[in-house]
Amino acid sequence: MGSLIRVTREFSFEMAHVLRNYDGPCRNVHGHSYRLFVTLSGTPVNDSKNPKNGMVIDFTELKNIVLKKIVSLFDHSVVVSRDFDREKMEMMTKTFGNTVVVDYQPTCENLVADFAHRLKDEMPKGVHLHSLKLYETAKSYAEWVASDNE
């Protein structure tokens, strides 16, 4: 029986957001250079005839999943809550173009939980989403861990 291994891949994207009713400067539209660390767990393939022998997942496959489910949608977008002022939201859509409307306040904490929801059922058989770490700034991040959310 093989060992359970965790593998991680980093992704980066640019995104703006606005926090409705926030009492600080983040109540204004502003952007970040996000870094997302996706960690999966599984047992490496143990089959010398399989081209993925020794891998939990091919990093290219992981990259394609994350690009499709998260980066292609959120990169260079402005993210706003559905309950944001309708008139301002229409102005942002016209001004910024790629506006993503979500059902939550788009904080780093809520974004990482949303990303986990978008990814957890996309993994191949035997591979599990272990954790996500989303850096909003170089020194600040939110983390989602599967075992905390079962």
Domains of the chain (ranges, CATH numbers): 5-149 (3.30.479.10)
26 is catalytic: yes
CA distance 128 to 133: 15
Average pLDDT (26-30) is 85
Work out the mean pLDDT of the chain and round it to a whole number: 93
CA distance 79 to 91: 13
Pick the catalytic residue: 10, 14, 30, 76?
76
- Residue 1, pLDDT score: 56
CA distance 85 to 18: 11
pLDDT at 144 over 80: yes
With cut-offs at 50, 70 and 90, classify the pLDDT of residue 25. Answer: confident
Tokens 């959120």 -> residue: 74
Pick the catalytic residue: 17, 108, 130, 136?
136
CA–CA distance from 105 to each of 76, 102, 130, 134 (Å)?
18, 8, 24, 16
- Residue 130, pLDDT score: 98
E strands present in 43-104: 77-81, 99-102
* Residue 30: Cβ within 10 Å count: 12
Report which listed range, 1-5, 27-31, 100-104, is most confident: 100-104
Pick the catalytic residue: 10, 14, 26, 90?
26
108 is catalytic: no
CA distance 45 to 66: 21
Structural contact between residues 80 and 102, judged by C-beta atoms closer than 8 angstroms: yes
76 is catalytic: yes
With cut-offs at 50, 70 and 90, classify the pLDDT of residue 21. Answer: confident
